[in-house]
Chains A and B, each alone.
Chain A
Amino acid sequence: MSHATRRRIGWTVVGTLLLFLAVLLSLALGSRQIPPAQVFDALLHGGTGDNAQVVRALRVPRTVIGVMVGLALAVAGVVMQGITRNPIAEPGILGVSQGAALGVVCAIAFAGVHTPAGYVWFAFAGAGLAAVVAYAVAGSGRGGASPVKLALAGAAMNAFIASVVSAIVTTDARALDEFRFWDVGSIGGRDGEVAAQTWPFLLVGLLLVAVLARGLDALALGDDVARGLGHPVALLRGLGALAATVLTGVAVAVAGPIAFTGLAVPHIARALVGADHRWVLALSALLGPAVILVSDVLGRVVFAPSEVPVAVMTALLGVPFLVALVRRKATVPA
């Protein structure tokens, strides 16, 4: 076994341990204080006491949803960065998450759809539309989609969606309350049923990405080289975009828009295991849920007894990361 492979396996093991730890934290910590022994007892033997009920009926679904969302966002981030060859690509920054959220709001407000399985389709449509527009905007013109152009296109997209929402909300008071629920991404207070209704979409997205992993490696070498290696570049991009859209749509339909996870996790994974997409994807799939769960746990304890939505925590934790990334020479050639 080569040194590189050993290192990759090593980091993957570490990632697995981190995720395991994050899951434990998410189950054990919350605005209600429950002794760890009782948490384990509730998990292993059930029980009808208040503490056992909280663990089984509130924290377990919440943790499952956190894992799903983290997985979807981190993998979507890897794919977006891969197909755009752009270090700054990410569902939140590109406005794709907001697009999906707007899709959900329209589903509730105008189409009268009220089940997660129903509005994931609207989330897909919104996410897809926002992704296409943001990327088309950033990619046209000389120089293609540079980091700054992508980020600006995303910022413009976010601002536009915000103004559309303001206009809807001002004229339709009911939509205000519907939207407030989706405004800030959170994995608390979601029904376990949400996970049951959306996991097939997550699975489809992940399978698609697994098929594409080698193609993403080729794309990293440049379009010409990829073509030379016999990869259908346009098809790869199209399928990649589809996968990223589905993944983002699932994450938003479940939790609302959450930024920065899709940005930070792929970069960390790449720094640890190198550029091979199969390894990057595997490690991201482990670290993404860990990041979401840890952020969520922090959100539960900082303002206890009330809770801070996870999206606020990831934004606050993610910005220093973005700043560090931008300060690196490779991102912004001076």
Chain B
Amino acid sequence: MLHRRRGTAAVALAVAAALSLAACGGSNDSADKKPAAGAGDKKAVAQGGDEFADAAKKTAEMGTDAKPGEWPRTVEHAMGETVIESQPKRVVVLDVGELDNVVSLGIKPVGLAPTEGSPELPSYLKKDAGTPANVGTINNLNLEAIAGLKPDLILGSQLRAADKYDELSKIAPTVFSLRPGFTWKENYLLNAAALDKTAAAKAQLAAYDKKVEELDAKLGADKPTVSMVRYLPDGVIRLYANASFIGTILKDAGIPRPKNQDIEDLAAEVSAENIDQADGDYIFTGVYGDAKATDKSRAQSNPLWKNLKAVKEGHAYDVPDETWYLGLGVTAANEVLADLEKYLTK
């Protein structure tokens, strides 16, 4: 009997060991996937494999075949197809990106799910957004509150709210992009397709492109490299890379990035000891949330910070986090362009 018990214990131990080994194996993978700052060629994937790289292409393929003014229309999107009967008038947006999208198309949404960090409207959208009701927070949607608003269109993204799509689509026609962030232009056109505002959205994007070209021309052929540094709570310092909202804007303008940020990922992480890896001709820093909590002042009192080339030359600027790093739409992008022009042509 004793032997048998030992046997059971041994088997259980082996299982536990195997599981923990498997877990360790997994964590090692992640360590490899995490882009080391400087290991610029590593193609890192934050979400679900190749989907990350393909997200923009896939989102661009979504939308509708309906002609302008044609209702009902069928919109193909990340979760399938949705039929919208008539011009939506009561729109609920589930993220800042969708908010920017509809507001820039002249629509005042009836409901908004703000981020956990800031329950108020982003200041750059405040004057045109009207007074949308709060429907919970981005990660904790209040479905009943959404239903109570009697919307006729819900806009969101798969990454944020895939698990609530079934319920949402029963409340109102729901159109989801794949993810917020670097796919912002494609998301914009998708949302516009659902609202029959494709022409307006294209005009907005054309205006953006024109501004980009102007900036491009103004900066000339010999553009400075731009480094994007963001301070997050817990002493985490992120260098934002190509697969981010700000990354796409810099790329559009043909502004070169330091090698360690010229990677197909959202961001690379560095510690205070390696802050010299954040160097570039220009540095633009943002702070997530409260500056006191995120340790920015201490990181910038870091002696290495003062030794950075950009800092020595006075080319390090603090920029608004809500447009540069939290921004996810064309209005924010235009603000960023204006800031870029201001600082880079000073």
Question: Which residues of A pack against B, CB within 8 Å?
Answer: 30-32, 50, 53-54, 56-59, 114, 173-174, 176-178, 180-181, 183-184, 186, 188-189, 191, 300, 303-307, 309
Contact = CB atoms under 8 A, between A and B. Distances in A.
B31 interface: yes
B298 A177 contact: no
28 contacts: A30-B273, A31-B271, A31-B273, A31-B274, A54-B273, A58-B272, A58-B273, A58-B303, A173-B116, A173-B118, A176-B117, A177-B290, A177-B293, A178-B293, A180-B233, A181-B293, A181-B294, A188-B271, A189-B235, A189-B272, A189-B299, A303-B31, A305-B271, A305-B277, A306-B34, A306-B269, A306-B271, A307-B271
A50 B307 contact: yes
Contacts of A176: 116-117, 289
B234 interface: yes
B208 interface: no
Nearest to A52: B303
B37 A305 contact: yes
Give the top 3 A-B pairs by smallest Cβ distance, nearest first: A189-B235, A177-B289, A53-B303
Given A50-B276, A177-B233, A181-B233, A306 B270 contact: yes
A191 B304 CA distance: 15
B302 A58 contact: yes
B338 to A, nearest CB: 28
A31 B268 CA distance: 14
Contacts of A303: 31, 34
B234 A184 contact: yes
B36 interface: yes
Contact of B119 (A56, A173, A181, A188): A173
Contacts of B277: 305
B274 A305 contact: yes
B134 to A, nearest CB: 12
Nearest to A307: B271
Contacts of A181: 233-234, 293-295
B292 interface: yes
Nearest to A189: B235
Nearest to B140: A170
Nearest to B294: A177
Contacts of A32: 271, 273-274
A175 B291 CA distance: 12
Given A56-B303, A303-B34, A305-B271, 14 more contacts: A31-B270, A50-B276, A174-B289, A177-B289, A177-B293, A178-B292, A180-B234, A188-B271, A189-B235, A189-B272, A304-B36, A305-B36, A305-B269, A309-B234
Contacts of B299: 189
Contacts of B271: 30-32, 188, 300, 305-307
Nearest to A49: B307
Residue from B34, B117, B274 with most neighbouring chain A CB atoms (10 Å)? B274
B288 interface: yes
Interface in B112-158: 116-119
Nearest to A309: B234
Contacts of B236: 306
Interface of B: 31, 34, 36-37, 116-119, 233-236, 269-274, 276-277, 288-290, 292-295, 298-299, 301-304, 307
Contact of A189 (B31, B36, B298): B298
Contact of B302 (A57, A183, A186): A57
A300 B273 CA distance: 10
Contacts of A31: 270-271, 273-274
A32 B38 CA distance: 12
A180 B273 contact: no
A27 to B, nearest CB: 12
Contact of B290 (A50, A174, A188, A309): A174
Nearest to B297: A191
B242 to A, nearest CB: 19
Contacts of A184: 234
A178 B271 CA distance: 20
A305 B294 CA distance: 19
Nearest to B119: A173
B304 A53 contact: yes
A303 B30 CA distance: 10
A289 B320 CA distance: 41
Contacts of B294: 177, 181
B292 A114 contact: yes
A189 B235 CA distance: 6
Contact of B117 (A58, A177, A306, A309): A177
A58 B293 CA distance: 19
Nearest to A179: B293
A64 B94 CA distance: 47
A189 B295 contact: yes
B2 to A, nearest CB: 16
B304 A54 contact: yes
Nearest to B292: A114
A57 B142 CA distance: 48
Contacts of B233: 177, 180-181
Given A54-B304, A173-B118, A181-B295, A188 B235 contact: yes
B208 to A, nearest CB: 31
B64 to A, nearest CB: 37
Residue from B236, B271, B295 with most neighbouring chain A CB atoms (10 Å)? B271
A300 to B, nearest CB: 8
Contacts of A58: 272-273, 302-303
A188 B272 contact: yes
Contacts of A56: 303
A215 B339 CA distance: 67
B136 to A, nearest CB: 11
A305 B267 CA distance: 13
Contacts of A54: 273, 303-304
Nearest to A306: B269
A306 B292 CA distance: 21
B42 to A, nearest CB: 13
